[in-house]
Structure 1
Amino acid sequence: MGTPNTLSNLLFVNAVRPRSMSPVQQRRNKLSNKLWEQIQLARSQIEHTHFVVKRRVTVKDVEGNYKSIERPKRIKPWWFMSSDGSLCLSVFYGSKRIEIVPEKTSIRAANMTDLIAVLDLLKSETEAGSLDVAIEKASGALKMNFNKNR
């Protein structure tokens, strides 16, 4: 049993848990998760291991029953070797390339270790909200693609 003044050491507040997340926070989380996947993919390439993210999908079997199974998720690396031989990174939100700096779509990295440092920095800046304008622009471009098909 605890001491009598244990509860008095706690800070009690009136707070209500939000029912839903704001769209801005949802976009931040989406990009942050994708950046995490890219960091893990880059680390696995350096360490010569496999990185697999599983996702649940529902499939119909031979008898016509639906089953939920896990399948590996295909993760495409966002980095590439440019024509001058340097390692470059493009950040994507969905299928749209994000312009973090206006008119610039790629970030140059010296090597794979530097690439991981760049991805870590981008992830922390995304979570802090520094990339909200760029994410909003890419999100709007994605929405335009969906709306013109209707």
Structure 2
Amino acid sequence: MSIVTNLKLITSTKTNATSPLMQRRTKLLAKVQEQIDMCEAKRNQQTFAPKRLKTIVNKETGERVTVETIKRIKEWFWITSDNKINLAIKYGAKTLPLNKKGANAIEITNGTELIGTLNKLKEAVIAGEFDDAIAEVSNETRKAFKK
């Protein structure tokens, strides 16, 4: 016990380090980064297949087994009939409104600009520019569960 008695001992409690706002920002930031990684893989003509762990029940033995599967990621962008790329920002299954007028997508001309725009969006998420839109979508989702 001589080692412990030489240490500075205090009484402390752990607090919740992240607020719900920061948790939402972190979630959106991770999804934007996935889109960036997917676009860069497409530009380099590689397949983008992130892995995730999934727990399944073996039908024969009934035991639970954790297996590694490919995570399904939906693209936030699509090509229009006039060969422009439209990009919508998603939070969960909902599309975030980008301004008060109801705009929900960004028009982009090529793939390089798409990656640059996603990087700008990443900076905007870090700066907190989407906090109001995330809160609005989260509240709508929460209200839908209370029906």
User: Normalized against structure 2, the TM-score is what?
Assistant: 0.84
Deviations 1:20-39 (A, max 9, x none): 41000000000000000000
Q: Determine which of 67, 70, 87 is the counterpart of 1:69.
A: 67
1:12 corresponding residue in structure 2 = none
Residues 94 and 142 in structure 1, CA contact (< 8 A), matched pair in contact too = no
Q: Which runs of 5+ in 2 are unaligned?
A: 1-12
1 CA distance for matches of 2:80 and 2:145? 31
> Between Structure 1 and Structure 2, how many residues are aligned?
133
2:33 corresponding residue in structure 1 = 36
Establish whether residue 93 from structure 1 lines up as the match of residue 53 from structure 2: no
Cα pair distance change 1:18/1:120, threshold 3 Å: farther
2:131 corresponding residue in structure 1 = 132
2 CA distance for matches of 1:38 and 1:53? 11
Q: Which runs of 5+ in 1 are unaligned?
A: 1-15
Cα pair distance change 1:112/1:17, threshold 3 Å: farther
CA RMSD of aligned residues (A): 1.5
Deviations 1:52-79 (A, max 9, x none): 1111111011210001111111001100
1 CA distance for matches of 2:61 and 2:121? 47
Give how far 1:126 is off: 0.4
Question: Does the residue aligned with 1:85 lie in a helix, a strand or coil?
Answer: coil
1:8-27 equivalence runs, <5 A:
18-27=15-24
1 CA distance for matches of 2:72 and 2:111? 20
2 CA distance for matches of 1:95 and 1:87? 20
Q: Determine which of 42, 55, 58 is the counterpart of 1:45.
A: 42
2 CA distance for matches of 1:146 and 1:50? 37
Establish whether residue 122 from structure 1 lines up as the match of residue 121 from structure 2: yes
User: Normalized against structure 1, the TM-score is what?
Assistant: 0.83
